Copies of this chain bind each other. A is one copy, B any other.
Amino acid sequence: METAALRELKERFARSFMDVLALRLLEREGTWGYRLASRIEETYGVRVGPSVIYPLLRDLEERGLVEGREERIGGRRRRIYEVTERGREFLEEYRELLRRQLDSSDLIP
């Protein structure tokens, strides 16, 4: 079972670090906005509408963390995003921060 506290923590993570969450999913497999939004919904149980996912992906691209390429399947266009080297470095810094929280070394000034 999932406690209410855990539920709230996950929701807060998804909201505050949606960019990191998106990046982590894209690291596993490059994909397009619509599909990415569904995956975030599945894994973190939060609603991710178009007004959230598209500005987010644009922001990630402006920060150089992902790279999008236009693709056409039939007449339908899709913008596939892949994590850049810079994006992988960013994720490594994020993970280092988590590790430092787990071993409490982040609390030493």
Q: Could you list which residues of chain A lie within 8 angstroms of chain B, going by C-beta atoms?
A: 3, 5-6, 9-10, 12-13, 15-17, 24-25, 28, 42-44, 90, 93-99, 101-102, 104, 106-109
Contacts and interface: CB of A to CB of B under 8 A. Distances in A.
A31 to B, nearest CB: 13
Report the copy number of this chain in the oligomer: 2
A17 B5 CA distance: 13
B104 A102 contact: no
Majority SS at the chain A contact face:
helix
A43 B90 contact: no
10 contacts: A5-B90, A5-B93, A6-B93, A16-B16, A28-B107, A42-B109, A43-B106, A43-B107, A43-B109, A98-B101
